[in-house]
A and B are shown apart, each in its own frame.
Chain A
């Protein structure tokens, strides 16, 4: 019986497309527990009504949550950009524009990744009790 997967492309046969196909799955598995944990902590156990600077400063006092957030940042942003690349592939038919869009996307992506990482690495929480 033929496997029917409407809409989904078949697994690429090799090269960069196969690597990206594989990377989407690796990054998905890598972040799924972390992201669900993040949602649970931020939106169920806490809420946007109680999260404020003091909450974030306390959370970033040690390396644990900074590392946690850095891993999510790297996985989510790269996974999202590879996904966006697939959308460009499907809808931008002119090769020149597609390459331009992809290059612009990676530049913006690297800037945001560097910026997010900078925040996680350099943030100094105010001294406790202030």
Chain B
């Protein structure tokens, strides 16, 4: 279990999710550009996303974007409203709770088919 200040954890996750989403963006630009080549080339390119083993990664991508967005909003709030460490801890855990609850329907819609829920 991570024992440091939650702000450090949030900072590390912000970096990792940002970098991961940027790497995906490069791949996404190339993969979408296949529509200029031919319908077959595009359909071939996105076949990867249809593999059952890719679905958890697709979910992680959405989860990464949502974390980055949520934490980014929190960073902006703290930019403009000076926040004591104690208050930040509370904000962090409230944010973590909201995030966890939000991921449940996302997981249901994105992964439900994989385990026969939908």
Contacts and interface: CB of A to CB of B under 8 A. Distances in A.
Interface of A: 1-8, 11, 25, 28-29, 32, 35-36, 39, 43-44, 47-49, 51-54, 56-57, 60, 73, 76-77, 80-81, 83-84, 87, 112, 115-116, 119, 122-123, 126
Interface of B: 5, 7-8, 10-12, 15, 18-19, 21-22, 25-26, 29, 32-33, 35-36, 39-40, 42-43, 46, 49-50, 54, 58, 62, 65-66, 69, 72-73, 75-76, 78-79, 82-85, 88, 106, 109-110, 113
B35 A3 contact: no
A7 B22 CA distance: 21
Q: Name the prevailing secondary structure of the A interface residues.
A: helix
B25 A76 contact: yes
Contacts of B15: 87
Q: Name the prevailing secondary structure of the B interface residues.
A: helix
A90 B36 CA distance: 39
